[in-house]
Amino acid sequence: MEEATLGTGNGKVIQVRDLVKQFGSVTALDHISLDIPQGAIFGFIGPSGCGKTTTVRCMIGNYRPTEGVVKVFGRTPDSFYLSDKKRIGYMPQLFILYPELSVWDNLNFAASIYGYPLKRKARLQELLDLVELSGHEKKLVRDISGGMQRRLSLATTLIHDPELIFLDEPTAGIDPVLRRKFWDYFRRLRDEGHTLFVTTQYVGEAAYCDYVGVMAHGALLMVETPEDLRYKAMGGDIVQFHASSALNSKMITDLRKLPFVSGELAFLDSQSVQLIVEDASTAIPRLLDWGEDEGIEIEAINQHVPPFDDVFVKIMEDEKAGQKRVEISE
Amino acid sequence: MRKLVRRESKLVNNLSEFLIRVSAFARKEVAGIIRQPRLVAILILGPFLILLIFGLGYTNQERTLDTIIVIPAGSTIEERITGFADRLRGVNLVDFVTSEAEADRRLDNREVDLVVVTPVDPLGDIRAGRHATLEFHHHEIDPLEQLYVSTLERAYIEAINREVLTVAADRGKSQAGSINEKVQDALTDAKALQLDLERGNGPAALRDLEALAEDMQVLTFALSDGLAAYEGVESLEDETNPDQPRSIFGNVAEVDRLMASLALLDERQGSYAAEAEQAAAIVTELTLIDLFLEEIQKLDSRIVARPFEGVVSNLSGVELGPIDFYVPGVIALLLQHIAVSLAALAIVREMRGGSIELFRAAPISSFETLLGKSISYLVLTAILAAILTALVILGLTVPMLGSWAGYAVVILALLFTSLSLGFALSVVSGTDTQAVQYSMIVLLASIFFSGFFIALHRLAGSVQLVSWLLPATYGTFLLQDVMLRGLPVNPLVLIGLLLYGFILFAISWWRLRHKMASV
């Protein structure tokens, strides 16, 4: 498998080559390769247990690769200096703060272990505002809800304003409104030049990312921009039209033979059909011409943008069917 | 120059961040514990209540054994035994019976603690050259209680023997009067011998010598019979010391020697100047015997029977109660247990809770983590120790004879080493339960091996190695010195304790570093 190389013109913050991580006889990561540029949101999507967290742990230095190379800021994580670690923020998947301490104490503790200066009240308050925990400072963490704990966990990750932020399922257990706020904040951080590596099981969140990596069974199936991910997963753009009358078999055969149509047709009903084309913008006028030539009145035609859930299901089904993995290069 | 300033600034910045990271744990642990008032109450009041209950409940009273004395029918000493037994300490006389079987049955039924079987004819036994034996029957299984019964038996027998010796001394005193008459007879004959020798009357002197020999025979027999009890006292004198006054039996022996010399006297000899001097010497020896007998008559028979007694002087200058003695050990044991328990849970909880995952990714080192936790727990346990000490000193009025500074140094060293031991246990524990079990094993070992209950010298040398692996052993030793003896802190023991603490800290650091490294 070729490496997935992304770029925006900036330097690569993370470089991974043929990363293999084994736990005994179990291979958790199978030859992962990718580069992540500075100032981007990289979404890491995959089903539970596919190796997302293991990849993150290899990148932050908690796990040592069995094979391959991981470089963050140009240095392998097991040789990080303290100054390197200060540039990284990590929000683990599970809540691992201290339930017997207050919200404020937990945030304060996180600031201290990153050596954040003692004049930090304003910074702490700013983060509490961000995660909407203002007014809950004195509450013990054991007494707040799971969602609030998640928000607090995010605040502790951002306390030292890290350049590179690893967020392992940050939006799990958070209501959709706040989830949206989180993503707005992530994008703001990205715009400020931070790099974010975000794992998620919410496939729809891929749309918020600059790049998306899809993992299954320890392998990286695809790394793309969200739009390209959708395109390549589905095999092209999807166009759907509705005819005024039912399509007959000749029409269907002719439709299949059109040069800009690729893949199988999908019939929504006897008058409606979805087809995959190389480029929807050029295919739609040509389809209208074809209808006119065939004497078919096309009442409605448009490009269908499938939700990422469908895209993800398609990728998983292809993976299960043993199709060749999608290999991406710039 | 600018480079140097930049380097200094970086150094200050690094140091500042180091202190902030270390202090993170101090604030966290203190805040965590303060937010648990019940835990604080248990940590402070628990140990004090244990001490208080111990102080109120431990009486250290001598055990009194309910005793039946068996005096077989026809005993020749019944009257003396019954009159004597109730004066013994540690024995509560429940009954006198004649049947040994009945007494043993009551002992089997736990009605009494001790049965003493007296001999039927002790005088007959002694005259036959045997010991008159008293049997002590008991049912104790505790070695210490068995030792107590044995001690009681020795005290009982010693008291009886002393009683017998006192009687013998009394008899000697009464006989001393009649012996004195025999000494006077001998003295008269000796003076006559001296006079005849000075006059040169050989035949008369020989007759005097013969009469004197008869007197001495009678006197020697009387002395042997009547003053046997005093012979032991006399035998204590150092016979090799020329300045030491001769004993009465020595005087008699000297008289015998002089008389043997005079027995070779030639009655046809003209002058007896040398022999007269020997006769004068005999007179002197007999005079000494006479004086000694007068002294004996004035002596107290109880002193003769028990010529020596011991007087114990405690140079510490303070009277300590049993609670006072145990308090330093209890303080050391409790503080060790609290510190070990807190520290044993410290790392394993971070591991189990997943915080170590955060620490691995954060710019905090294993050393900073361990140092931060050590400082926070040291502060917490030192506050606990201060409160516990105040309660003990004021509440139980335990003396503090040494310096408070020395006491503080010992407590801090004890806490540091105990915390290090706890951390060492924590880094090898897989779960909270395992950590608690380890700390309980340390507590159990400390009860047996720290010198708290069993003095260290009672343990075999190899087992004492275990003792010195326990911080409480050092703590008990040093606190007893400071609190109860008023001594300065023993520097060697203190250095040993601190060195042990640093070794444990280093081991904990090494293990934690390994755990915080990539896996």
Which residue of A79, A82, A85, A87 is the best one to mutate when testing the B interface, meaning the one whose CB has the most B CBs within 10 A?
Answer: A82
Specify burial of residue B514 (Cβ count, 10 A radius: 0-12, 13-18, 19+): exposed
Q: What are the residues whose beta carbons fall under 8 Å from the beta carbon of B366, sequence distance 6 or more?
A: B509, B512, B513, B515, B516
Confidence grade of residue A191 (pLDDT, cut at 50, 70, 90): very high
* Interval B318-323 mean pLDDT: 75
User: Both tokens of residue B288?
Assistant: 């000494």
Determine whether the interchain pair A61/B361 forms a contact, defined as Cβ–Cβ distance below 8 Å. yes
Distance between B22 CA and the closest CA of chain A, angstroms? 8
A218 and chain B in contact, CB less than 8 A? no
A23 and chain B in contact, CB less than 8 A? no
Determine whether the interchain pair A77/B518 forms a contact, defined as Cβ–Cβ distance below 8 Å. yes
Rounded distance between C-alpha atoms, residue A195 and residue A206, angstroms: 16
Q: Are strands B65-70 and B91-97 parallel, antiparallel or unpaired?
A: parallel
Q: Are B90 and B137 in contact (CB under 8 A)?
A: no
Number of H helices and E strands in chain B, helices first, is 19, 4
Confidence grade of residue A7 (pLDDT, cut at 50, 70, 90): very low
* Interval B172-182 mean pLDDT: 77
Give pLDDT, residue B512: 94
> What count of CB pairs under 8 Å joins A to B?
86
Question: What single-letter amino acid sits at B231?
Answer: E
Q: Please report, for residues A83, A84, A87, B9, B363, the alpha-carbon distance to residue B6 in angstroms, rounded to integers and kept in the order given.
A: 16, 20, 21, 5, 22
Tell me the per-residue pLDDT of B336-367, one tens digit each, with 9 for 90 and over: 999 999 999 888 888 888 888 888 889 999 99
Determine whether the interchain pair A140/B355 forms a contact, defined as Cβ–Cβ distance below 8 Å. no
Tell me the per-residue pLDDT of B229-269, one tens digit each, with 9 for 90 and over: 566 555 555 556 666 566 777 888 888 888 888 887 777 77
DSSP A4: B
Determine whether the interchain pair A62/B357 forms a contact, defined as Cβ–Cβ distance below 8 Å. yes
Rounded distance between C-alpha atoms, residue B401 and residue B385, angstroms: 18
User: Both tokens of residue B374?
Assistant: 């050590």
Chain B CA closest to residue A138: B35
A62 and chain B in contact, CB less than 8 A? yes
Distance between B514 CA and the closest CA of chain A, angstroms? 12
Chain B residues closer than 8 Å to A90 by CB: 358, 361-362
Q: What share of chain A is helix, strand, coil (3-state, %, to 5)?
A: 35, 30, 35
Chain B CA closest to residue A105: B28
* Interval A137-145 mean pLDDT: 92
Determine whether the interchain pair A109/B360 forms a contact, defined as Cβ–Cβ distance below 8 Å. no
Cα end-to-end span (Å), chain B = 44
Give ipTM to 2 decimals: 0.79
B518 and chain A in contact, CB less than 8 A? yes
Tell me the per-residue pLDDT of A207-238, one tens digit each, with 9 for 90 and over: 899 999 999 889 998 899 988 888 888 888 89
A116 and chain B in contact, CB less than 8 A? yes
Chain A residues closer than 8 Å to B363 by CB: 82-83, 85-86, 113-115
Chain B residues closer than 8 Å to A53 by CB: none
Q: Are B377 and B419 in contact (CB under 8 A)?
A: yes
- Extract long-range pairs of A121-130: CB within 8 Å, 24+ residues apart: A123/A159, A124/A159, A127/A155, A127/A158, A127/A159, A128/A103, A128/A155, A130/A155, A130/A158, A130/A185
Burial letters for B238-276: b for 16+ Cβ neighbours within 10 Å, e otherwise? eeeeeeeebbbbbbbebbbebbeebeebeeeeeebeebb
Rounded distance between C-alpha atoms, residue B153 and residue A99, angstroms: 65
Rounded distance between C-alpha atoms, residue B131 and residue B149, angstroms: 20
**A6, pLDDT greater than 70:** no
Run of H or E residues at A12:
strand A12-23
Determine whether the interchain pair B21/A140 forms a contact, defined as Cβ–Cβ distance below 8 Å. no
**B382, pLDDT greater than 90:** yes
